[in-house]
A = this chain, B = another copy of it.
Amino acid sequence: MSQREQTPLQARLYTVIFGTDTPLGKWFDLLLICAILVSVSVIVLDSIDSFHDAYGTLFQRMEWVFTAVFTLEYLLRIWIAKNRKAYILSIYGLIDLLAILPSYLALILPQTAPLLIVRLLRVLRVFRVLKLMSFLHEANLVAGALRDSARQIFVFFSMVVTVMVVFGCIMYVIEGPESGFDNIPVSVYWAIVTVTTVGYGDVVPVTAAGRSMSALAMLIGYAIIAVPTGIFTSNLLRHRSGPPLPLNCPQCARAGHQADAVYCRFCGTSLHTDQAD
């Protein structure tokens, strides 16, 4: 089931469908992005009542064409994949499946119609193409810094959520159901709306004590936005400059060399002793 031998036809299709280097591969990617975006637009427009009434039938027909095209593409991808199981179980493989499955499901089981919205995950397919193209380096830098920050941001977020739970409970006691703080989940929802500075205004304190507490919550929310920003910025800076080279200069023992340095910047000795002389 692992790496199979491809027939010449499979190999050629592979270059077009999975590859991006050939002109034909680029055209295929461009066409695919267009198809995805038009198909997503159709679903979005179909959700608007006036458009649905006017063009509902047209939209439905277009949708079936797109489902047919994407189904064909999915089957082709399986057929030509070097490792079929790996492709089917990969994130992209699953998204490719989820993009077509709901249409068939809704045909067989009409009660699964709400799942049709899942087809909108097609928009994620655009990233497959983008990823393979030119934004790789930038995305990697950002992703790397995010991965580095993940643990710290998790610690930070568990504290923030605790602060929100505590504030929500305090407000539930202070304000009570008559101000809209009906129960603790609603109060915590209010705390999240407030601390993140979203501030819908659908649940607001009305008593003096409640307003004082919420003023405190806002100030805390305003201050702690600095924490994830600081964590991510410092990780990004570290990521970008790269690890300074673990080894010290073999002659003068000084460290602090850049990642691509070959010779010590203080005494000029080769940093890679195995390559030296």
Q: Which residues of B contact A60 (CB under 8 A)?
A: none
Q: Which residues of B contact A264 (CB under 8 A)?
A: 263, 265
Is the pair A165, B196 in contact by a Cβ cutoff of 8 Å? no
**CB within 8 Å of B: which of A164-194?**
165-166, 169-170, 172-173, 182-186, 188-189, 192-194
Q: How far is the CA of A186 from the CA of B169 in the complex (A)?
A: 23
Given known pairs A192-B215, A218-B192, A267-B262, the reply for A234 and B237 (CB within 8 Å) is yes
Is the pair A232, B227 in contact by a Cβ cutoff of 8 Å? yes
Stretch of A74-82, A85-93, A104-112, A144-152 contacting B (4+ beta carbons < 8 Å): A144-152
A157 in the interface (beta carbon within 8 A): yes
Partner of A265, one of B173, B185, B223, B265: B265
CB pairs A–B below 8 angstroms (20 shown): A43-B184, A44-B184, A130-B158, A138-B151, A139-B155, A160-B219, A198-B199, A199-B200, A225-B229, A226-B233, A229-B232, A230-B236, A233-B233, A255-B260, A256-B258, A258-B265, A261-B265, A262-B265, A266-B266, A268-B270
Q: How far is the CA of A254 from the CA of B170 in the complex (A)?
A: 50
Is the pair B219, A192 in contact by a Cβ cutoff of 8 Å? yes
Partner of A226, one of B43, B231, B262: B231
Q: Which residues of B contact A258 (CB under 8 A)?
A: 256, 258, 265
Q: How far is the CA of A226 from the CA of B138 in the complex (A)?
A: 16
Classify chain A: how many residues form its interface, as a range: 35 or more
* Top-6 shortest CB links A-B: A263-B268, A198-B199, A261-B265, A230-B233, A200-B201, A201-B201
**CB within 8 Å of B: which of A239-277?**
240, 253-270, 272, 275
**CB within 8 Å of B: which of A128-158?**
130, 135, 138-139, 141-142, 145-146, 151-158
Stretch of A2-10, A13-21, A22-30, A117-125 contacting B (4+ beta carbons < 8 Å): A117-125
CB nearest to A186 among chain B residues: B211
CB nearest to A154 among chain B residues: B135
